[in-house]
Structure 1
Amino acid sequence: MAKHWVMGALLPAVALLGGCATAVSPVEVTRFHAPDPVARSGGFLIESMVPQASDSIEFRTYAAAVSQEMQRIGFTDEAGKQTLVPSEYVVRVDAQRSVQSPLVNRSPVSVGVGGSTGSYGSGVGLGIGIDLSGKPKNIVTTSLSVQIRKRADNSTIWEGRAMTQAKEGTPAAQPGLAAAKLASALYSDYPGKSGETITVK
């Protein structure tokens, strides 16, 4: 059975973090939707695309950020409401984080030849540079995927994906700050131009 979340307790924290969202790197956003007009109102419930992740605090953080944006553009979060009629829409949410070392394609020693081109002896100067700056921080890539589906026929009316990167250990790499920024970027100018990839700063 799908689980639906009451977002009220998390919204103040998400809103507070959203005020600091400028610390996050630019967000790459791609969206697809049905022909206009795209729905801008109606009741919804949030579900996780990955059921086993639905109990995690991190998922709830992203779900709260998505709920806040859905309500901002005109939809109604029906989580926790006692209604006999199911919500008109189901909003499916998934968040992924990966960590990559910047040293994968990086050499600590570089050799450069200055001057004219040609054989080894024709150059004016030879320089050897050694990187003494220390090990660079890993890069955290965070992505948020959202689908808005009609409950009646399970058809998708809108979907999008937002992705950003930050250095590991920085505030921008934290789930709360990333969630607010990603959700805000994903829903900017909703529904957006279908099939277009944009960068939101």
Structure 2
Amino acid sequence: MILAGLAACATPAFKADVSRFESQLPAPQGESFAVVADDPALAGGLEFSQYADMVEEQMVRLGYAEAATPEEATLLVRFDYGVDNGRERVRTTGFHDPFYSPWYGYRGYSGFVRPRYYRTRDGRIIRTRSYYGGRWGYGFNDPWFGGPEVRSYTVYTSGIDMKIDRTATGERLFEGKAQALSTSNRLQYLVPNLVEAMFTDFPGNSGETVRISIKPEEKTVRRID
């Protein structure tokens, strides 16, 4: 339980950038909808059906009625989703030395002085001063604090697109995009969070991009005996 708690605390929240545009989206009363795949290749797929159900739940929550078929719906909700192949990032972090910078090593044009202590043979402790560091990284091999830590990881860009059209006329009433960067490429985790972000304060202010924070992915921590 302790390990799981620590893992949860160390995981940042899922953050999505949501852009929405609206043109007289009608009030829910008297309106019905159907969710269809904007990409024909996704139509009829079990995975798409799972994510479409999430969109339907959000529309019903807003007060819109779900139609039996797309032909009977007054509003057609076109939905698409995806994640890219990712790209590698390298991050350099230093220890908690207030003088350490990942760009310049130990900061300061002229370096700084840190006290050192030595014990003599007769037991006396002598305080001396040692010179450390210049602006361009002198001090990286300082055994007192150690050096920087370099980590490599993959970042993925995921997103969903949603459009709402008037079925009878084809008039576009709403367009929305939600995108996020994450170290996960699992659509089963990403799409539900993106859908939740899309419908947060829906339909939002037309033309505005907002950042929505969602709870992080829950990961199982296994104990190794």
TM (norm. structure 1) is: 0.68
- Do the aligned residues in 2 keep the contact of 1:114 with 1:127 (CA within 8 Å)? no
| 2:18 counterpart residue number | 29
- Measured in 2, the distance between the counterparts of 1:71 and 1:194 equals 22
Deviations 1:23-77 (CA, angstroms, capped at 9, x unpaired): 7511211110114x63324111111111012243332232121111111101122
Aligned to 2:87, which of 86, 94, 101?
Answer: 101
| 1:178 counterpart residue number | 190
| 1:153 counterpart residue number | 169
- Measured in 2, the distance between the counterparts of 1:82 and 1:144 equals 23
- Measured in 2, the distance between the counterparts of 1:188 and 1:87 equals 24
What is the percent sequence identity of the aligned residues? 24
Aligned to 1:115, which of 85, 91, 108?
Answer: 108
Q: 1:32-51 counterparts in 2 under 5 A?
A: 32-35=21-24, 38-41=26-29, 42-51=31-40
Structure with more of its chain in helix, by fraction: 1
Aligned to 2:76, which of 90, 102, 109?
Answer: 90
Distance 1:174 1:44, change over 3 A: same
- Measured in 2, the distance between the counterparts of 1:27 and 1:147 equals 18
Structure with more of its chain in strand, by fraction: 2
- Do the aligned residues in 2 keep the contact of 1:24 with 1:178 (CA within 8 Å)? no
| 1:191 counterpart residue number | 203
For residue 60 of structure 2, give the secondary structure of its aligned residue in structure 1: helix
For residue 138 of structure 2, give the secondary structure of its aligned residue in structure 1: strand
2:159 paired with 1:143: yes
| Structure 1 stretches lacking a partner, 5+ long | 1-21, 118-122
- Measured in 2, the distance between the counterparts of 1:53 and 1:24 equals 29
Amino acid at match of 1:115: G
| 1:71 counterpart residue number | 60
Q: Report how many aligned residue pairs link the two structures.
A: 166
For residue 195 of structure 2, give the secondary structure of its aligned residue in structure 1: helix
| 1:7 counterpart residue number | none
- Measured in 2, the distance between the counterparts of 1:181 and 1:44 equals 22
- Measured in 2, the distance between the counterparts of 1:99 and 1:67 equals 28
Work out which of the two has the higher radius of gyration on C-alpha atoms and give 1 or 2: 2
